[in-house]
Amino acid sequence: MIPSTLRGLVRRLGVILVLGLLAAGLVGGPAAAAGGTYQQVTGFGSNPGNLTMYQYTPANLPAGAPLVVALHGCTQTANDYHAHSGWQKYADLWGFAVVYPQTGTANNSLSCFSWFDAAKDTRGRGEAASVVQMVDHARAQLGSDGRRVFVTGLSAGGGMAADLLADYPDVFAGGAVDSGLPAHCATTQNAASSCQNNSQNLTPAQWGDKVRAAFPGYTGPWPRVAIWQGSSDSTVKPVNGTELRDQWTDVLGVGQAATSTRNLPGNTTVSNYADSTGRPAVALYSISGMGHGLAVNPGSGESQCGTAGAYFLNTVCSSYHTAVFWGLDGSPTAPGALPAPTGVRVTATTGSTVSLTWDAVDGAVSYSVRRGGTAVGSTASTSYTDTGLAPGAAYGYTVAAVDSTGATGAVSATVTATTTGTAPRCFTASNYSHVAAGRAHQSGGYTYANGSNQNMGLYNVFTTHTLRESPAGWFTLADTGCPA
C-alpha cells in the first residue's frame, strides 16, 4: 500500500509513481500485433509477489535475442504501457521480446508496485522475486540471451526497476528509470513521500552503499543505467534524477562530472558519464519543462514512438534512446566503436593555456578532451583550448570521438604540451635564512616576503615559513601548501 499521506496527492493527480515492472498483454488471450503475439502467460513460477505476466514476442524471433522487462505505473495496466510506450515498435524492428509484469488492487489500492516495501522489493522476496521468475520463464521459453536482459519502468515502476538492478545485477545487464527514484530510497511506506518530494542529503557513496547492500558480496559487473527526468515534475521531484545519477555513477566507479553532453529533440539534454574505457556507463536525460510521465514522440520516424496520453507525454521517444543506449539496435557499444582521432597536435601555449587541434573522425558528433586521463572538456569542433593551467608545467592530452548515441570511441595517442613561463618554486626555511637567501627582507625586527611584502613574523632562526616564487623574484606565503 502507498502511505496514507500520498493518497490525496495521487487521487488529485490521477497517478503517483509508476511502480514496478510493466505487464504487457491482453486479458482476453493472445493477439496479433505487427506480426507478433501479445498475450498473458501463466504458470511462470510460485509468484510470491502475486503479479500477472504478459509478454510480447515478435514474429520469427530467433533464439539468443535480448529480453526487455517493462514496468507500468500506478493506476495503469500492462495494456496501457504496451499500447503507449513504444516498446513494441522496437521489439519488431530490432528483434527482442518484452515482458510486462502487472500488479493490481489486491496488492495495492492504486495498482502500484511496491518500490518502498522491503518485504516486496528485495532479492528473493515478493514482487521482485516474481519479476525474476518471469525473466527465467521467458528465457527458457524463448531461448533469450541471458547476458542481454534489461529492465525499464516509469515513476514507481522506475523505482522498482532501480531496486531490481540493485537486487539482481546478475540478471540485468542494464536498466532505465523514467521519472523514478533511486534504488532502495525508502524501505517503509512512511519514508516514500520524503523520497518523492525531497533531497535525502546523501553523498554518492551513501547512495551507492544502498545498492551494494542489496546483494552483499556480489563482485560481478554492474548494469548500465539510463535516467529520464522532467524538470517540471511535481510528483517525483527532479532531485531524484540527480540522486539516481549520484547513486549509479558511484556504483559503476565513474565520476559525477559528465564526460560529454548533447541535445536531443523535445528540449532534452543527455549527459553521459563514461567509464575508464570511454563507454557511457550512466546517461542522464533531462527534459526541460516536462512534467510527470514517460517521454514519447508519436510519428513514423525511426526515432519516434508511442502514443500520447495520461502520463505519456509528447516530447522525445525515450524508448528509442534507451534501446540505443543498451545497444539493442545492433550498433556497436563497445569501446572504440569510433576510431581514435589522428593528427592531435599542440597549436599554441601561454602561461595558463594550451590549444589543441586534430583531424575530424567520420561519424563523430563531438569530441572528449582529456588531460592526464581525466576529461576536461567536450567540443563539437576539432579544436580545444584548455585554461587555468600553471606556468612552466607539462601536461599530457588525449582526444576521443563521441558518436550520436553518446558512445565514446578509442582514445588518441598522448601529446605533451608545456605552458610558457617559469614553473613556481617553493622554499621552506627560517626567516633568517629567507632573508639571507634574498627571498625576504627585515625591518624593525620583523621579516617581510620580497614582492608581496607579506609579514612573516619575527626576524630570527626559530620562525619557519614556506614561500612560493611566481613570477621570478615575487614571493608569497604558502604554509598551507605550495602547488607548483
pLDDT in tens, 409-439: 778 888 999 998 877 789 999 999 999 999 9
Domain 4-326 in CATH 3.40.720.10? The answer is: no
Separation CA 184–CA 200 (nearest Å): 12
Q: Is residue 336's pLDDT more than 50?
A: no
What percentage of the chain has pLDDT greater than the value 70? 91
Q: What angle do CA 290, 294, 299 make, to 5 degrees?
A: 95
Mean pLDDT of 149-178: 97
Between CA 257 and CA 241 the distance in angstroms is 14
> Could you give the CA distance from residue 296 to residue 306 in angstroms, rounded to a whole number?
5
SS3 label, residue 313:
strand
Q: Kindly state the cell numbers that stand for 108.
A: 495495492
On the question of pLDDT at 352 being above 60, the answer is: yes
- Residue 85, pLDDT score: 98
Tell me the mean pLDDT in the region 64-86.
96
pLDDT band at 473 (very low <50, low <70, confident <90, very high): confident
What does the pLDDT average to over 18-47? 62
Supply the pLDDT for residue 337. Answer: 63
The C-alpha atoms of residue 474 and residue 456 are separated, in whole angstroms, by: 14
Q: Where are the domains of the chain?
A: 4-326, 345-418, 425-477
Q: For 70-80, what is the mean pLDDT?
A: 94
Please state, in angstroms and rounded to a whole number, the distance separating the CA atoms of residues 185 and 189: 11
pLDDT for residue 441: 95
Asked if residue 150 has pLDDT above 90, the reply is yes
**Mean pLDDT value of segment 181-193:** 92
Sign of CA pseudo-dihedral 362, 365, 369, 373: negative
Amino acid at 483: P
DSSP 257: S
Sign of the alpha-carbon torsion through 297, 71, 25, 131: positive
- Does the pLDDT at position 358 exceed 60? yes
Tell whether domain 345-418 is in CATH 2.60.40.2140.
no
Catalytic residue numbers read 155
For 10, what's the count of Cα atoms within 13 Å in the CB-facing half-sphere? 26
**CA–CA separation, 471 and 454 (whole Å):** 16
Closest CA to 160 of 206, 202, 111, 197: 111
30 pLDDT tier (thresholds 50, 70, 90):
very low
More confident residue, 389 or 150: 150
Nearest 5°: phi and psi at 270?
-110, 130
Residue 33 banded pLDDT, cuts 50, 70, 90: low
C-alpha 36/C-alpha 393 separation (Å) is: 63
Q: Please list, residue by residue across 413-450, b when 16 or more beta carbons sit within 10 angstroms of its beta carbon and e when fewer do.
A: eebebebebeebeebebbbbebbeeebbebeeeebbbb
415 and 396 in contact (C-beta within 8 Å)?
yes
Name the nearest CA neighbour of 370 among 358, 381, 378: 378
**What is the band of 190 on the pLDDT scale with cuts at 50, 70, 90?**
confident
What pLDDT score does 39 carry? 97
